[in-house]
Amino acid sequence: MSGGVVDHQRASAIVPATLVIAWLALACEPTVLIGSCAEPSTTDAGAGGLADDDAVSMPWSTGFEDGLCGYQLAHGYCYARHGASLQIVQSPTPFAGKFAAAFTVSGDATTENRSQVRCVRQGVMPTSAYYGARYFIPALATSDGNWNLFHFLGGTSEADSHPLWDVSLANAADGQLELSVYNFLTGTLPKMADVGPIPIGRWFQLEIRIVRSPKANGEVTVLQDGAVALQLMNLITDDTHWGQWYVGNYARTLVPSLSTVYVDDITIREGP
Judge contact between 165 and 235, C-beta under 8 A: no
Residue 107 CB, nearest distance to another protein (Å)?
Answer: 16
3-class SS of residue 74: coil
Closest distance between another protein and the C-beta of residue 134, in Å? 18
73 or 170, CB closer to another protein? 73
In whole angstroms, what is the distance from residue 60 CA to residue 74 CA? Answer: 9
In angstroms, what is the minimal distance from the CB of 54 to another protein?
A: 20
Instruction: End-to-end CA distance of the chain: give it in Å, rounded.
Output: 90
Cα–Cα distance, 154 to 237 (Å, whole number)? 10
Helix (H) or strand (E) segment spanning residue 6: helix 3-27
Q: Toward another protein, which CB reaches closer, 39 or 270? A: 39
Least separation in angstroms between CB 19 and another protein: 10
Amino acid at 229: A
User: Which residues of the shown chain bind another protein in the complex (CB under 8 A)?
Assistant: 18, 21-22, 24-26, 28-38, 64-69, 71-72, 77-78, 80-81, 84-88, 99, 102, 117
**Is the Cβ of residue 86 or residue 129 nearer to another protein in the bound state?**
86
Nearer to another protein, 118 or 209 (CB): 118
Sign of the alpha-carbon dihedral angle for 50, 53, 58, 59: positive
Judged by beta carbon, residue 65 or residue 264, the one nearer another protein is: 65
CB of 221 to another protein, least distance (A): 32
Q: Which of 70, 30, 20, 67 is nearest to 50 (CA)?
A: 70
Q: Are 48 and 74 in contact (CB under 8 A)?
A: yes
Residue 28: which region, alpha, beta or left (left: phi > 0; alpha: psi -120 to 50)? Answer: beta
Residues 147, 114 contacting (CB under 8 angstroms): no
Looking at the Cβ atoms of 35 and 272, the one nearer to another protein is 35
Q: For 18, what's the count of Cα atoms within 13 Å in the CB-facing half-sphere?
A: 6
At closest approach, how far in Å is the CB of 81 from another protein? 8
